Structure 1
Amino acid sequence: MPKVLVSDKLSPRAVDVFKGRGIAVDVKTGLSPDELTAIIGDYDGLAIRSATKVTADVLAAASNLKVVGRAGIGVDNVDIAAATQRGVVVMNTPFGNAITTAEHAIAMMFALARQIPQANASTHAGKWEKNRFMGVELTGKTLGVIGCGNIGSIVAERALGLRMRVIAFDPYLSPERAVDLGVEKVDLDDLIARSDFITLHTPLTEKTRGILNAEAIARMKPGVRLINCARGGLIDEAALKDALESGHVAGAALDVFAEEPARDNPLFGLDTVVCTPHLGASTTEAQENVALQVAEQISDFLLTGAVANALNMPAVTAEEAPRLRPYMKLCEQLGSFAGQITESGLKSVRIEYQGDVAGLNTRPLTATVLQGLLSPLLESVNMVSAPVVARERGIEIKETRSEHCPNYHSLIRLEVTTERQTRSVEGSLFGGTLPRIVRINDIPVEAELAPNMLYSINEDKPGFIGSLGTTLGDSGVNIASFHLGRSDAGGQALCLVQVDGPLPAETVDAVSALPHVVRAKALRFS
């Protein structure tokens, strides 16, 4: 039975989801880093919000951990690189609190435009300062949206309903999507120069950190107003303070801060700043939604292999997972075979999907091929990290699909180009579930891969099979199965021999020394 730790406060209904799916669950909130590190090795899944910090040290101790699920959008409290390296899938729930966060941004914009918090405090104090709180209308103003994804697009739609002009900067926003939303797509410099209000809805990355720095703020229109309900660190807080005090920026509404909990911040106490304590997702509906969503996602992954909203792994639906499973085994074997016979630097990998498999979700299959290929060459490579490792090493990955497959229902062909040569291996499923190698370097062969195998390439000459059998017998190696193939009579031939146990190095050397043998190698498969 899989076991999940809930280390931050979630709706009790999330716990009910885990239990209802047959997953053991412990709720232990408020753990210190040392306490979390001490117990995390007992769990297959970890459900968190923003309080728990999933650091490299925590992940190093998480010997059984398979998935981290963040109930919410931001995952800056998870070391995704370390999780990827260890094969831990990191998921979030990008849709569960999108409306709530967008509504909070709109509310903050209204509060900023009409100075509602300041007027509220003044009135509670018994004052009647009508002339002091002169606001501005939103109608007709230009709103600049930085980041027009799930939340940003909702903010844009609401702003258009308020009769604002909306311009958006987002590298991933297509012109077609911009037209559908009714916004004008612009570059960042244009947005900064034209906007009366600027709202941020982008994750915090190395590229977006300080996206509104002193230089950017200086290029804004005098009297601009800023709203940040996304992530602290997107705005340079010291530069913003200077601009507020000088009057260049008329006001700011902030729900997030560079350091949280924010108990001492340079912006606190400024009359032109509206602050809330990271309330963007704090509605009853949102908390319920993200808690249930993360529980379902973690459960689906642990029970079926389905992957939803993962940041470091291709998505796999619950319906796809059982259909992909036998192909993933085949892909792992094809990759492992190619990796074990590769002895020089990889330059490119080409994967061809033919027949029925071409109609499936091939991204996880490609990741599995790369895992199998790289594992014999590099330590600690897994399905999650393999695509990243390949890119980091400059290995070109090509993927093609074709519904045409003349001899099989499905065929997967892996071609690996190294510094010295190009090799290929092809495989299919027999009976729909049984992986088989059907061709190696254009030589037909039908072989089931087993834990321990001998692979040899030889000249097709009489007596080879007999001498090979004798050599293995003299070494005390028992043959379980024998698979042969050749290009043509008298040409190059190969064999894959299944044996009962690991092959001693001296036995492989003895086979290599036989007449007509070009190459011999011991192979191992899981």
Structure 2
Amino acid sequence: MPKVLVSDALSETAVQIFRDRGVEVDFMPKLGKDKAKLLEIIGQYDGLAIRSATKVTADVLAAAPNLKVIGRAGIGVDNVDIPAASKQGVIVMNTPFGNSITTAEHAIAMMFAVARQIPAADASTQAGKWEKSRFMGVEITGKTLGLIGCGNIGAIVASRALGLKMKVLAYDPFLSDERAVELGVTKVELDEALSRADFITLHVPKTEKTANILSRENLAKTKKGVRIVNCARGGLVDEAALAELLQSGHVAGAGFDVFAVEPATENVLFGLDNVVCTPHLGASTTEAQENVALQVAEQMSDYLMTGAVTNSLNMPAVTAEEAKVMGPWIKLAEHLGSFVGQLTDEPVKSVNITYDGVAADMNLKALDCAVLAGFLKPTTPDVNLVSAPVMFKEKGVQISQTKQDKSGVFEGYIKLTVELESRTRTVAGTVFSDGKPRFIQIKGINIDAEVAPYMLYTTNKDVPGVIGSLGMTVGEAGYNIANFTLGRTGNGADAIALIHLDEAVKPELVAKLEGLGKFQLVKPLAFDIA
């Protein structure tokens, strides 16, 4: 009988799920804060169920030779060393959708609180004052809501806002026209959302592309009197710039549940009369906490008793036999998706994945999921092999699959074709006998490039002097070129270069290359090859 340790506060109902499914369970809800005791006993267990208090570090994992699965009741896994778990063969699961409604409702609640100054009015009234004229609010009905991000949570907020008779604008580079119509929102660019919205709510993860998305410059583009709510992630808004605009009256109010630095014991927004703050309560409801606890118990039990893998962050849904053969191909699929995902900043209409030769005989569902997860990873770090297809479905993207017999010099390959609103991107790859994934075609141009952690991709017209300028500029900037792969469709036609560098490309190099006027595209790429 497998044995699970619950080291954080899960409900008795969740604990009973383990027992009902034939799993022995030890419920020690305060153990997560006692690392010494955890290290002492963790070696006895096949599974570890946690919330946020337990820190699963590399030394905890090293003390757990029998551990097979870690289940996090919730979405965030910052308290789990996932690379160390993967190296040790431990599956890490989370519950990515258990608190979506709760977080969306908190955003709506914050919007009401800001609109009617409820916290300040409550404090004033309970202090024995009767300042009725001081707390003049605004109606929600008829106002325009600008959503920054319209994924799972953003879509729920849109639904609630429409029920309140608001007009909803949505900025999301991956939102398709069809999905926007289905939701009843108007898809717009960021500048239009900023200039038209009476209320702005954020519903995006913090990534390189979204960090400081409401910068000082973008905040200045907002409509005078706007109210801003952030229940997504800290670091999406320039808090100092927002504080200045709140004090000047350009921004009428703000509601923040998340902050750039947490725990937020002090912040530039604190103390302002027109700001409502809460201590990261987005997922803090009885229902949400119960939902994620029940889900993690079910997922862990299924894996330990039947081998089924759900919402895994570091393992595809494949059998042990398949994993031996498919491991390198799953990595290739992720790299292909990541390649196109890093180049894409516009809505996706459709995705087609072609499997040729030996690849066509594998577990294609797992490979599909790996492609889609790889595509979303640059913008949605929390995505996994299970949640990625759901996210594509929510955005109304058509996913198709093509299988074919061996059709070329390779024993098998995978080709990804992504149709965007303005163009189509294609990339293909294979796995050589050494088990290393390689890119073999980009934009229909044949190449042979091993996937590396840091790469630079450029496109240009095939004319004399481009390669020399590229190599010289990269070298003069202090970068060492480990490998340099070129391809073209013909003399004077389209050409590409894929360069393997020893370090990550900085924006200064991109700017220098773009300034040469010789390239149609200069794009730094990063790949997880672990």
> What range describes the TM-score normalised by the shorter chain of this pair?
0.5 to 0.7
> Which residue type is aligned with residue 14 of structure 1?
A
Greater alpha carbon shift after TM alignment, 274-283 vs 99-108: 274-283
* Pairwise CA distance, 1:333: 11
* Pairwise CA distance, 1:404: 7.7
Correspondence for 2:11:
11
Given the alignment, which residue of 359, 362, 367 partners 1:363? Answer: 367
Identity %: 65
The whole-number CA distance in structure 2 between the counterparts of 1:43 and 1:172 is 42
Correspondence for 2:211:
209
> Which residue type is aligned with residue 21 of structure 1?
R
* Pairwise CA distance, 1:142: 1.7
> Which residue type is aligned with residue 185 of structure 2?
V
Correspondence for 2:174:
172
- Give CA deviations for 1:104-146 in whole Å, capped at 9, x if unaligned: 2111111110111111111111211111111111122221112
Given the alignment, which residue of 75, 85, 92 partners 2:77? Answer: 75
Correspondence for 1:21:
21
Given the alignment, which residue of 148, 151, 162 partners 2:150? Answer: 148
* Pairwise CA distance, 1:19: 2.0
Correspondence for 2:124:
122
* Pairwise CA distance, 1:79: 4.3
* Pairwise CA distance, 1:362: 4.2
Correspondence for 1:372:
none
The whole-number CA distance in structure 1 between the counterparts of 2:289 and 2:369 is 34
Correspondence for 1:311:
313
Distance change >3 Å, CA 24–CA 232, structure 1 → 2: farther
Greater alpha carbon shift after TM alignment, 273-282 vs 51-60: 51-60
- Give CA deviations for 1:329-380 in whole Å, capped at 9, x if unaligned: 5657999xxxxxxxxxxxxx9763557x67x62429989xxxxxxxxxxxxx
* Pairwise CA distance, 1:194: 2.6
Q: Determine whether 1:189 maps to 2:191.
A: yes
Tell which structure's C-alpha radius of gyration is larger. Answer: 1
Contact 1:70–1:92, Cα closer than 8 Å, also in 2: yes
The whole-number CA distance in structure 1 between the counterparts of 2:258 and 2:58 is 25
- Give CA deviations for 1:205-262 in whole Å, capped at 9, x if unaligned: 3443333233332322222211122222333333332332232222111222334343
Superposition pairs for residues 208-287 of structure 1, below 5 Å?
208-287=210-289
* Pairwise CA distance, 1:326: 4.8
Correspondence for 2:501:
none
Residues paired across the two proteins, number: 364
Distance change >3 Å, CA 68–CA 310, structure 1 → 2: same
* Pairwise CA distance, 1:28: 4.0
Contact 1:253–1:275, Cα closer than 8 Å, also in 2: yes
The whole-number CA distance in structure 2 between the counterparts of 1:308 and 1:163 is 38
Q: Please provide the CA RMSD for this pair.
A: 3.7
The whole-number CA distance in structure 1 between the counterparts of 2:6 and 2:324 is 32
The whole-number CA distance in structure 1 between the counterparts of 2:10 and 2:302 is 18
Contact 2:42–2:64, Cα closer than 8 Å, also in 1: yes
* Pairwise CA distance, 1:171: 3.1
The whole-number CA distance in structure 2 between the counterparts of 1:256 and 1:241 is 15
Q: Secondary structure of 1:361's match?
A: helix
Contact 2:356–2:405, Cα closer than 8 Å, also in 1: no
Greater alpha carbon shift after TM alignment, 110-119 vs 230-239: 230-239
Correspondence for 2:161:
159
Q: Secondary structure of 1:143's match?
A: strand
The whole-number CA distance in structure 1 between the counterparts of 2:263 and 2:90 is 28
Gaps of 5+ in 1: 336-348, 368-383, 385-398, 406-411, 423-526
Distance change >3 Å, CA 90–CA 244, structure 1 → 2: farther
Greater alpha carbon shift after TM alignment, 325-334 vs 209-218: 325-334
The whole-number CA distance in structure 2 between the counterparts of 1:21 and 1:55 is 28
Q: Secondary structure of 2:267's match?
A: coil
The whole-number CA distance in structure 2 between the counterparts of 1:233 and 1:365 is 29
> Which residue type is aligned with residue 150 of structure 2?
C
Q: Secondary structure of 2:111's match?
A: helix
* Pairwise CA distance, 1:13: 1.3
Distance change >3 Å, CA 50–CA 400, structure 1 → 2: same
Q: Secondary structure of 2:312's match?
A: coil
* Pairwise CA distance, 1:287: 1.7
> Which residue type is aligned with residue 183 of structure 1?
V
Q: Secondary structure of 2:299's match?
A: helix
The whole-number CA distance in structure 2 between the counterparts of 1:121 and 1:18 is 45
TM score, norm. by length of structure 2? 0.60
Contact 1:74–1:203, Cα closer than 8 Å, also in 2: no
Q: Secondary structure of 1:68's match?
A: strand
TM score, norm. by length of structure 1? 0.60
- Give CA deviations for 1:266-301 in whole Å, capped at 9, x if unaligned: 322221111222222222222211110111112222
* Pairwise CA distance, 1:325: 5.3
Distance change >3 Å, CA 334–CA 204, structure 1 → 2: closer
Contact 1:352–1:400, Cα closer than 8 Å, also in 2: no
* Pairwise CA distance, 1:40: 4.2
Q: Secondary structure of 1:108's match?
A: helix
The whole-number CA distance in structure 2 between the counterparts of 1:365 and 1:212 is 32
Contact 2:180–2:186, Cα closer than 8 Å, also in 1: yes
Contact 1:353–1:400, Cα closer than 8 Å, also in 2: no
* Pairwise CA distance, 1:264: 3.0
The whole-number CA distance in structure 2 between the counterparts of 1:256 and 1:211 is 15
Superposition pairs for residues 303-452 of structure 1, below 5 Å?
303-314=305-316, 316=317, 324=319, 326-328=321-323, 331=326, 352-353=358-359, 361-363=365-367, 402=403, 416-417=431-432
> Which residue type is aligned with residue 153 of structure 1?
A
* Pairwise CA distance, 1:159: 0.4
Q: Secondary structure of 1:219's match?
A: coil
> Which residue type is aligned with residue 145 of structure 1?
L
Contact 1:167–1:184, Cα closer than 8 Å, also in 2: yes
The whole-number CA distance in structure 2 between the counterparts of 1:158 and 1:400 is 35
Gaps of 5+ in 2: 331-354, 372-384, 386-399, 414-429, 438-530
Distance change >3 Å, CA 128–CA 233, structure 1 → 2: same
Correspondence for 2:520:
none
- Give CA deviations for 1:155-181 in whole Å, capped at 9, x if unaligned: 001101111111122233222211110
> Which residue type is aligned with residue 92 of structure 1?
N
